[in-house]
Amino acid sequence: MFPATTERSSLKIAFGGAFAAVFDVGVPILDGHEVDDLFPTAKPAGRAGSFTLFKMGNWHLGIAAVAVAPGLEQAANQVYREIFKVTGGVQVARIWNYVPAINGTGANGRENYQAFCEGRSRAFEERHGRDFKLFVPAASAVGCNSAFLTVAFAACATKPRHVENPLQVPAYDYPRKFGPRSPSFARATIARDGDVATVFISGTAAIRGHATVGACGIAGQLECTLQNLAEISRACGLGSRLDQGGRSSRHFRVYVRHAADQPLVAATLGEHLFSNGDRISYLHADICRQPLLVEIEATLLGVTVPSRPN
């Protein structure tokens, strides 16, 4: 049974619509949708190792919650090795990571997020060799109230295209001051399926180059984050506003470090980013760098296949 994590209402990841299998990831909801169901027609596809698996058309999906003993590095390495084993010949397009005490310090004196990144990176290198950076997909990693590391993935039968933000150093090329192994993710991933695509926008925050834009407070961080989202959107061929006005179904998760900031965050994003019909969840979570106050991710379903920007 998937572990219950908190008495407060928290985000549920669902597969299968009205007959959904629902998994609590231990991240409290501040406002908006409590259940995120990106794959409503997914069908159960059994279990493999730690993962509960699902299938929807060309999509291969899975979710696992694993104990972090004897440490986050080992737990992350093991769960990622399992992802590569269960996905076989298909391509991983998106990974969601919910990391216990992400800004805390482990037994070895290292920040938990750095330990997680090391285990994840080594698994990618073990799988893909020295050129593993070419294969890292869109991802996010935020803190959770659970004692378990929870990881969900979406993999597709067609080769996805990974996209970077010209305003940011690719996360996998961060300097060593951010940890012995850099985070292993792309800023966005586009997965085509015939005449439409699913576009995954990674967790996006106030980082310019590789530096944290942290001293400007929540308003300044929101401004920088929106600029980053606009640049990623353009790089994906979606205009500057993440296909706003297009035919796609837009799903957002907004992670806020301090619950008291949520009304300002909601007002700002309502003015500058969101449209009627968007599915939005505001979540109370620690973020990978302690100075960061807000992080935004998006999944756009049914996008008219974007062309490569000139």
Is residue 40 domain-resident?
yes
Q: How many domains does the chain have?
A: 1
Q: How far apart are CA 144 and CA 25, in angstroms?
A: 7
Is residue 1 domain-resident?
no
Is residue 119 domain-resident?
yes
Q: What is the CATH number of the domain that holds 108?
A: 3.30.1330.40
Element holding 147 (H helix, E strand): none
Q: 203-232 burial, b if ≥16 CB within 10 A, otherwise e?
A: bbbbbeeeebbbeeebeebbebbbbbbbbb
Q: How far apart are CA 131 and CA 14, in angstroms?
A: 33
Is residue 145 domain-resident?
yes
> Can you give the residue range of the structural domain that contains 231?
10-304
| pTM for the model | 0.95
Is residue 309 domain-resident?
no
pLDDT tens across the length of the chain (310 residues): 355 444 569 999 999 977 789 999 999 999 999 999 999 999 999 999 999 999 999 999 999 999 998 899 999 999 999 999 999 889 999 999 999 999 999 878 899 999 999 999 999 999 999 999 999 999 999 999 999 999 999 999 999 999 999 999 999 999 999 999 999 999 999 999 888 999 999 999 999 999 999 888 999 999 999 999 999 999 999 999 999 999 999 999 999 999 999 999 999 999 999 999 999 999 999 999 999 999 999 999 999 976 665 4
Is residue 4 domain-resident?
no
Is residue 2 domain-resident?
no
Is residue 112 domain-resident?
yes
